Structure formats: C-alpha cells, structure tokens
Amino acid sequence: MGQQWAAAFDYDKSGLDPWDNPTFDIEQVREFRFYFAAKSSPHYNGNPQNREERVHGGTITIRPRWPNLTSDGELVSVPQYGEPYIDVQVQASNIPHEKYLTLVQRMMDSYSISSRYFDQPHPDSHINDLAYYVRLYRDASGPLFAPDGPIARCHTLIQGDRSGYRKHVEDNTKLPGYYVTATVEDEKADELIRGHRLGKELKHYYPNHPETYEPDEAPYHPKFEVSYQTSRTDDTVRWDDLDDARRELEETILNCLEWTGIATTAKSSEFVDFDPYWSLEDTTEARKMVQCPLPKIEDEQEHRVMKLWGDMTTADRDVTEMLLTDGGKVSPQEAAEKTGYTYRTIRTVIDRLEGLIRHTYGELELESKKIQQELLKRVRAAGDRFQQEIGSATMELADAIEERTRSRWARVRREYAVSEVEADDCRKLLKVGYMPDDFAEAKKILREIRTAYTESVSSNTYGIHVVIETVETGRERFRDLRNAFQKGYRRGDYISREEQQRRNESFDFEAWKAAGCPPADEWNGG
C-alpha cells in the first residue's frame, strides 16, 4: 500500500465449544486479533496494540466457524453455510475502505498464513460502519451547524414529530459547533437527495479537548462527517455495495457543503490542507449535485399551516393541541377517547388536516418538527381567537402561492397518495393510497382525480385504470377513467365497448315494440 506498517498479534478464548468432528484436534477454540498501525502516523510511538496509536491503522479479528456451532452446549446464532468458514472483521480508520481486502491478505501473508483463504469474500459479507469527512477551518464551518444549516434543518423538516428515530444534539459548551449532529432515517434519505437509501448521521465536531491544539494543528479545526447508520437502515449493505454506499455518503457531504456556500474544490480556501490523514485533491469521479430541497420543504410546511390554520374547526383545534401536548404514540381511537369526539370525527379531522397530521400504521403524529413549531407558535399566540387568527388576507395569499407553485394534479396526487404503476393490461394504472370509508366517497375521489388529470395532464383518459380500496367494500378497480361514472363500471361489472356493441346489435327492437314497449324517445321517465 506504499507505506510501512507495524503489526502485532494476540488471541483470546472464544467461548466456543470444540467442533465435534474427527478432523478437529484443538481443545481450546480461540479468536485471533491482528493490530496494525502506519509507522508514518504522528500518533504512532512503537506499540500498534495501543489503541491511541492506531489512529492510522486498526484491528483485524478472525473467528473460526463451522456447522452447528455451540457454546456451553447451546447453539450459537451465526450464519450457517454447511461447511467451515472464517469470519473476518476489519475495524480501521483513515484507510480507504476499498483497500481492506488487500490489507487482510498482506497481513495474513506477513504471518505465513496463506492469503488465498481470503481471495473471495462470501456474498453475505456486509458493512457495519462507514464514514467520510472533510476538515474545515474553524472560521469557515459555521454555516453547517447554524440553526438554518443542513444539520439542524434535516432534523426539523424531515423527521416526523414522534415516529421512528429522532436524534439531534447541539453541544456548544466548549466552543460553537463543538458537537452538533442529526440523524436521517433510511426512509427519509430520499427526501434529502433523490435516490438515496441509507440511514445516516450528519455530524460537525471537534476532538475532546480542542483547547489543547494550536491553529497550525489539524485537530484545532473541526470535521464535518457523514456516516452510515446500520441501526437506522433496514436493508443490509453488502461488501459488494461499497461503491454505492461511498457515493451516497460523499454526495451528502458535497451537497451540504454546496448548500452552505462552501466551494467543493481543492482550490477552496475553507479546507485544512495540513491534515495528516486527509489529502486535499480534486477527483474525476462523478457525484450528483442537487439544489437544496430544505428551503422548499420548509416553505411548503409553513404554507400548509397558513393554509389550514384559518379554517380550523373546534375539533381540529382540540386534536392538534392534543398532538402538541401528548407524548408517545396516539392512535385515532385513543385520540377520540382523549378529546371526547367520535372516531368518525377524528377521521374527518385527519383528512381535513392532511399535510399537517400524518396517519400511518394506525398512529397519528405531526408531519415534522417544523410543523410542530409553527403550530405551537400559533396556538400560543391565538388564545381564544384560534379560528380567526390568520384571516382572509393570509388565506388568499396562500391560495395564490399554491396556484403558482403546484398544478391541481400534483395537489390531488399528494392529497390522496396517488401513485402511477406500470401495468401490462392498461395504458396507465393509478393506485390510490388513501382509503375512503365507502364506495360513494371513492367515487367522489375518482371525480377529483379525473378532473385534475384532464386539466393538468391530458384530456385523453381512455385506458387509464384506477385502483382504490375502501373500508366498506374492499378493493375496487375502475377499468377506464373516461367511463368510470357509467352505471356498472367497476370490478367484474366491466363490459368492453365491443361486448356492449355486440349486445346492442343482437337486441330485437321490433319484438320490443310488438310487446307494447314504447321506443326510447317516447319514455316519460315515470
């Protein structure tokens, strides 16, 4: 790897029972640790086993594995592959992750262990920890941890007010920005940068004792780091996914820098160029840069509050205040019991305040910390004048903003969670995520969808199918949006135009008249 490394070897009892196999003669099962440190590191003083000296280095832990592994006679939960294998864990810092496999092979070679055992990692090999950082001059990093910076706003705007995992720490005790962090869950990562899927932590921080360093020493200046959070990501990140994971974390760093006005080139004067573990250079690798979505998200959330606030009913107010003051998770039924309203009234409030209140998996919460803050400000300011606080002028302004920034189709799609799905049996399939109470409400929604689609997208709705599920009737499929309001036009009642024409042609109108039935133009509707 172009450097000289110091290495040390150690082992411990593993706690595993010996393998009950005639080829296995070892009475005491051990796990082995290999410590290594770059000799060029300013922290290295001759002992790679000392953790403080492995700032540029790490540990390789090797554990033997075989079928039906036991400890004190009890089965141990480890992956079973039907044959013996070696579990290798690498923990290192300031070493490119793509070099880990080569590092393991060379370490084994240095101890006369054949590196061929480590040529091809198993497809199940995975990544538990991954982080990338930049080091900025102390006087340049302020926008990153500011109240309107990306760290704080990620927490305020993206995370719900009581679901999932929420973490935002601002420790400015030793100096501004000493330790400021926020976590973005995997399901929210796409809201920050489209296409991202990893749970991650955004962190601005200094070492434990920043006062011990001088301005010409790298630790005097802070790091901005983005790290992959295993516990906040449902999907396992495999070793083969390393390039994609690295790209996502680096894109998050670069975009956050760009959003705060910090140039993302090696020529920028904001980056510390004397960090011994971080080289300052431009790269030819492509990374996606996007416009910061946070101001738009913030504007939309403020707009939702303004839009709905002036028209709130007493029930709306009571449910909102209950969510603002009540801790923990609240179901619609619990909300009904706490406010004294019926379950149906709570459902109506949820529908009316869509955009402020999120209803998922039978639980209610405010859409975000920002929504919570905006509502709290208004509740405290309004007092007994709750329903009229904003007034008609603000409502008209909000309507005008909405008219300029969103099409009617976009609003309807958002309101009813309409998604477009590729289908083989129709030109376009629209799936409605919102669940109405009954078929009548479903038809009302369908009319809104058709009107918005014809106004904003296309007047041609032939071949567009809509699937919607109601509480009362279950799944309904309207097989042609153009004819969706004709009688009998749902589910198995669907009749094709060709079939209807065939029936019309086979009908005996002469026999109809001979039987005394009047022609259609003589019907009086009685």
Most confident of 3-7, 51-55, 292-296, 370-374: 3-7
pLDDT digits (tens, 9 = 90+) for 490-512: 444 444 445 555 555 665 656 65
Query: Which has more pLDDT, 32 or 511?
Result: 32
Most confident of 85-89, 155-159, 397-401: 85-89
Residues 333, 395, single domain; the answer is yes
Above 90 in pLDDT, residue 248?
yes
**How far, CA to CA in Å, does 330 sit from each of 166, 322, 360, 521?**
17, 10, 11, 59
| 428-432/464-470 β-pairing | parallel
What domain range includes position 416? 408-505
Query: Which has more pLDDT, 166 or 25?
Result: 25
Distance from C-alpha of 152 to C-alpha of 245, rounded to nearest angstrom: 23
Above 90 in pLDDT, residue 311?
no
- Mean pLDDT across the chain: 80
- Paired strand residues for 59: 35, 91
Q: Is residue 525 part of a domain?
A: no
Q: What whole-number percentage of the chain has pLDDT above 90?
A: 30
**How far, CA to CA in Å, does 486 sit from each of 458, 466, 494, 495?**
20, 15, 10, 11
Residues 416, 379, single domain; the answer is no
Query: Which has more pLDDT, 386 or 364?
Result: 364
* Coil vs helix vs strand at 294: helix
Q: Is residue 521 part of a domain?
A: no
Yes or no: say if 358 and 367 are a contact pair by the CB < 8 Å rule: yes
Longest dimension (CA), the chain: 112
Query: Which has more pLDDT, 422 or 274?
Result: 274
Q: How many domains does the chain have?
A: 4
| Domain stop point among 405, 432, 448 | 405
Q: What is the model's pLDDT at position 328?
A: 54
Helix axes 332-339 and 314-325, enclosed angle (nearest 10): 110
Q: Is residue 512 part of a domain?
A: no
Residues 399, 452, single domain; the answer is no
Residues 417, 443, single domain; the answer is yes
Residues 169, 282, single domain; the answer is yes
**How far, CA to CA in Å, does 196 sit from each of 215, 243, 304, 421?**
36, 13, 26, 21
Q: What is the model's pLDDT at position 378?
A: 66
The pTM score is: 0.61
Which of the four pLDDT bands, split at 50, 70 and 90, describes residue 524? very low
Q: What is the model's pLDDT at position 168?
A: 78
Yes or no: say if 170 and 194 are a contact pair by the CB < 8 Å rule: no
Q: Is residue 303 part of a domain?
A: no
Above 50 in pLDDT, residue 285?
yes
Q: What is the model's pLDDT at position 23?
A: 80
Q: What is the model's pLDDT at position 327?
A: 53
In this structure, of 170-179, 406-415, 427-436, the range with the lowest mean pLDDT score is 406-415
Q: What is the model's pLDDT at position 517?
A: 56
Q: Is residue 55 part of a domain?
A: yes
Structure-block tokens of residue 398: 């909000």
Yes or no: say if 207 and 277 are a contact pair by the CB < 8 Å rule: no
Residues 35, 75, single domain; the answer is yes
Q: What is the model's pLDDT at position 247?
A: 96
Q: What is the model's pLDDT at position 371?
A: 74
pLDDT digits (tens, 9 = 90+) for 208-229: 999 999 999 999 999 999 999 9
Residues 171, 103, single domain; the answer is no
In this structure, of 31-35, 97-101, 164-168, 271-275, the range with the lowest mean pLDDT score is 164-168
Q: What is the model's pLDDT at position 509?
A: 58
Conformation bin of residue 221: beta by default, left when phi > 0, alpha when psi is -120 to 50: beta
Most confident of 301-305, 316-320, 442-446: 442-446
Q: What is the model's pLDDT at position 284?
A: 82
Residues 157, 35, single domain; the answer is no
In this structure, of 51-65, 288-302, 386-400, the range with the lowest mean pLDDT score is 386-400
Q: What is the model's pLDDT at position 272?
A: 93
Place of tokens 């639980």: 363
> How many CA atoms does the CB half-sphere of 355 hold within 13 Å?
21
Which of the four pLDDT bands, split at 50, 70 and 90, describes residue 153? confident
Above 90 in pLDDT, residue 389?
no
| Domain stop point among 118, 137, 155 | 118
CB atoms under 10 Å from CB of 177, counted, come to 22
Q: What is the model's pLDDT at position 238?
A: 95
Residues 88, 161, single domain; the answer is no
Mean pLDDT of all residues in 35-43: 88
Distance from C-alpha of 72 to C-alpha of 306, rounded to nearest angstrom: 64
Yes or no: say if 203 and 165 are a contact pair by the CB < 8 Å rule: no
Question: Residue 353's domain is classified under what CATH number?
Answer: 1.10.10.10
What type of residue sits at position 168? Answer: H
Helix extents (H) in 340-438: 343-352, 369-382, 391-405, 408-416
Residues 400, 412, single domain; the answer is no
Distance from C-alpha of 453 to C-alpha of 427, rounded to nearest angstrom: 14
Q: What is the model's pLDDT at position 516?
A: 58
Q: What is the model's pLDDT at position 205?
A: 96
pLDDT digits (tens, 9 = 90+) for 326-367: 655 678 888 888 888 888 888 888 887 777 777 776 777 777
Q: Is residue 214 part of a domain?
A: yes
| Domain stop point among 357, 387, 405 | 405
Residues 149, 278, single domain; the answer is yes
Most confident of 174-188, 294-308, 329-343: 174-188
Above 60 in pLDDT, residue 55?
yes
Q: Is residue 205 part of a domain?
A: yes
Q: What is the model's pLDDT at position 191?
A: 87
Mean pLDDT of all residues in 88-110: 93
Q: Is residue 518 part of a domain?
A: no
Residues 220, 287, single domain; the answer is yes
Q: What is the model's pLDDT at position 211?
A: 92
Mean pLDDT of all residues in 182-198: 90
Structure-block tokens of residue 348: 């109506």
